[in-house]
Amino acid sequence: MLFIDLILQGLIQGSIYALIAVGLTLVYGLLRILHVAHAGLFTLGAYLGVLLMNQTNSLILSFTISMFLVGLLGVAIYIFCYKPMLEKPPYVALIASIGLFISMEEIYRMVFGAMGVSYKNPPFQDVINLSSLHLKSAEIVTMLVALVLISALSIFTTKTRVGISWRATVTQPQIAESFGINVEKVRYGNFFIGSMLAGAGGVMVGILNNLVEPTMGGVPSYKALAIIVLGGLGNVKGTLIASVLLGVVESFGTIYLGSLLDRDAIAFAFLIIVLMIKPQGLFGSKR
Amino acid sequence: MEYFYSLLILVGISVILSLSLNLISGYCGQISLGHAAFYGTGAYAAAMIAQLGINIPISIIFGAIVAGVFGFIVGFSSLRVKDDFLAITTMGVNFLFIGFVRQQEWLGGEMGIYSIPATGLTKMQYSLVVTIVAIFVIMFSITIKNRWMGFAFEAIADDEDAAETVAINTSKYKLTAFILGTMLAGLAGGLYAFDIRYIGPDSFGFTESISILSMVVVGGIGSVWGVVTASIILSLLPQWLQFISDYKLLLYGGLLFLMMRFSPKGIAGIFEYVKTRTLKI
């Protein structure tokens, strides 16, 4: 039973990783930028979720408004931060993004306090028993939210005209542009949707832990980087598989390697081993 | 006066650390996001061996060597992966280091090491030692930059494939940069350990890597004087302006962002710009 339990925990963690990492990999595919500040948006989503929920008491409302606002801020980050840096060497945007992320964390600490915020009436706290498995309903909802949002994204990018033009821009920006696709618009859209997903992930983590702290984005942000590297930078499918894989590896690793390494170290050990064997990531193609 | 000497030690260690990263990321263009791991390795190795009764200068040198060996191993990853992949790999090394140390009883685990032997030097004497080492490291940096090795590093930083075609052994030079840079970081770690006489995993985390990187980047990646200036300013500023101390991270983060946004070549870049502007007029 421990086995299934660990798989489930891995899947839950993996679906959170997926929500964060999809946005990151979209940005990387489009601009070749490692968007560390993405996790700052994730944290903001969590804060907006808890604050709006405590005010309005409507989960649907607070969930959608936080997603929307976080999406807008994502676009703003693109316009004010990355757009002027596109011609510079790649480390410029990476370091700027790290700087931005640290500043965002500090601003949350000053505005919302270092102690964190909790839900007044935390939703989905009941425990569901499936024979010997005990799952919080929040955990099931998290998996469902990830599944629904990512399926929606995948339908959008494979079935609609706009979505197909997106994928074309991500894989072949120059050719896409010569076919009359407005690359700038695609970038706005990508930042908006990717940030929205991160915001949704933030709200879900806030509900899962019933605590939103300024530093909650730190570990996910760096792990999400590990995930998109594992998934082969810019490859959405690879990213999704890598998210779930990393979630499962972590949950098994903490049981069997816990005395040697902590949870985060296991994730990065896995990353380093994979990269040394396959430098392009698990599903990356040679550029 | 005590306070002045401890500031001097702080600045000296920052200068050594940032110049050591500048060797890897500035000269040779290999962006490393995990430099604090080597700083920590040096500190831990020196502290552990000093506890066995080995004398302190030898302990510090031992720490530097252990860090260099670790750096050599990590350097191999730079032969496999490049650019963004390398940045993330080195970041992973940092998390791996911290995660490993935290779980090891014999390294003091979460609590760290308290019983580091005293040097027997006064604060003034110790600050003098650190300053001399820092000056030595500055001179070493300048020397390397103007040697064949420095040119090879620059060629690799500029365009690795092009460097390879003009018969520069890129693997050899990249590994050399990693060994030299991480040894110096280990040296800084040893000096730090015997100054504070307490080390814990939290001092060598990713945040520390970022503050070292911010000194390099704010100074101007690759420029010795720029990096030294930025190290002095960034390590003293939070000490002088007490109210900034609480906002130290915001200051670092904001500076990193603004520097990259408006002057990606850092202080050295601004200086260069002003110089060419005034000369033209």
Q: Quick check: B77 and A275 CB within 8 A? A: yes
The encoded tokens of residue A124 equal 């989905």
3-state secondary structure of B81: coil
Which DSSP string do the residues of chain A spell out, in sequence order? -HHHHHHHHHHHHHHHHHHHHHHHHHHHHHH----TTHHHHHHHHHHHHHHHHHHH--HHHHHHHHHHHHHHHHHHHIIIIIGGGTTS-HHHHHHHHHHHHHHHHHHHHHHH-TT-B--SS-SS--EEEETTEEEEHHHHHHHHHHHHHHHHHHHHHHHSHHHHHHHHHHH-HHHHHHTT--HHHHHHHHHHHHHHHHHHHHHHHHHHHT-B-TTTTHHHHHHHHHHHHHTTSS-HHHHHHHHHHHHHHHHHHHHHSTTTS-HHHHHHHHHHHHHHH-TT-SS----
Answer yes or no: are the C-beta atoms of B97 and B28 closer than 8 Å.
no
Interface subset of A 223-282, CB within 8 angstroms of B = 225-226, 229, 233, 258-269, 271-272, 275-276, 279, 281
* Residue B125 C-alpha, separation from nearest chain A C-alpha, in angstroms: 37
Q: How far apart are CA B73 and CA B236, in angstroms?
A: 34
pLDDT at A285: 62
Nearest to B182 by CA among B39, B22, B31: B39
pLDDT in tens, B104-163: 888 888 888 888 888 888 888 999 999 999 999 999 999 998 888 888 888 888 888 888
Q: Quick check: B257 and A81 CB within 8 A? A: yes
* A99 in contact with chain B, both atoms CB, cutoff 8 A: yes
A43-52, A222-231, B202-211, B243-252, range with greatest mean pLDDT: A43-52
Least confident of A10-19, A124-133, B96-105: A124-133
**Which chain B residues have a beta carbon less than 8 Å from that of A107?**
250
Question: Which residues, including other chains, have CB under 8 Å from residue A114's CB and lie 6 or more apart?
Answer: A213, A214
Question: Which residues, including other chains, have CB under 8 Å from residue A78's CB and lie 6 or more apart?
Answer: A187, A188, A191
* Banded model confidence at residue B250, pLDDT cuts 50, 70, 90: confident
**Which chain A residues have a beta carbon less than 8 Å from that of B103?**
258-262
pLDDT at B242: 67
Tokens 């970038």 found at: A187
Q: Quick check: B261 and A262 CB within 8 A? A: no
Nearest residue on chain A to B158, alpha-carbon basis:
A89
Instruction: Look at residue B68 and tell me whether its pLDDT is greater than 50.
Output: yes
Instruction: Look at residue A160 and tell me whether its pLDDT is greater than 80.
Output: yes
Q: Which own/partner contact pairs does A129-137 have at CB distance under 8 Å and 24+ positions apart?
A: A132/A1, A133/A1, A133/A4, A133/A5, A133/A8, A135/A8, A136/A208
Work out the angle between the directed axes of helices A38-56 and A183-209 (0-180°, nearest 10).
Answer: 60
Nearest residue on chain B to A86, alpha-carbon basis:
B261
| CB-defined contacts A:B, below 8 A | 130
In this complex, the residue of B84, B96, B256 whose CB is nearest that of residue A272 is B96
B139-148, B183-192, B251-260, range with greatest mean pLDDT: B183-192
Instruction: Look at residue A49 and tell me whether its pLDDT is greater than 80.
Output: yes
Q: Is B237 exposed, middle or buried (0-12, 13-18, 19+ CB in 10 A)?
A: middle
Question: ipTM of the assembly?
Answer: 0.81
Instruction: Look at residue A287 and tell me whether its pLDDT is greater than 50.
Output: no
Percent of chain B with pLDDT strictly greater than 70: 98
Question: Which residues, including other chains, have CB under 8 Å from residue A15's CB and lie 6 or more apart?
Answer: A142, A143, A145, A146, A147, A243, A244, A247
The encoded tokens of residue B50 equal 């000093």
In this complex, the residue of A84, A259, A276 whose CB is nearest that of residue B261 is A84
Rounded to two decimals, the pTM is 0.86
Q: Quick check: B252 and A276 CB within 8 A? A: no
User: Does domain A1-277 correspond to CATH entry 1.10.3470?
Assistant: yes
Q: Quick check: B99 and A264 CB within 8 A? A: yes
Helix intervals (H) in chain B: 2-21, 35-51, 56-80, 83-103, 123-145, 148-158, 160-165, 170-196, 206-219, 224-240, 242-245, 248-262, 266-280
Q: Is B276 exposed, middle or buried (0-12, 13-18, 19+ CB in 10 A)?
A: exposed
Phi, psi of A133 (to 5 degrees): -90, 135
Interface subset of A 133-152, CB within 8 angstroms of B = none
Mutation to test the B interface, candidates A36, A103, A110, most B Cβ within 10 Å: A103
Instruction: Look at residue B281 and tell me whether its pLDDT is greater than 70.
Output: no
Answer yes or no: are the C-beta atoms of A228 and A24 closer than 8 Å.
yes
What mean pLDDT comes out for the span A67-94? 89
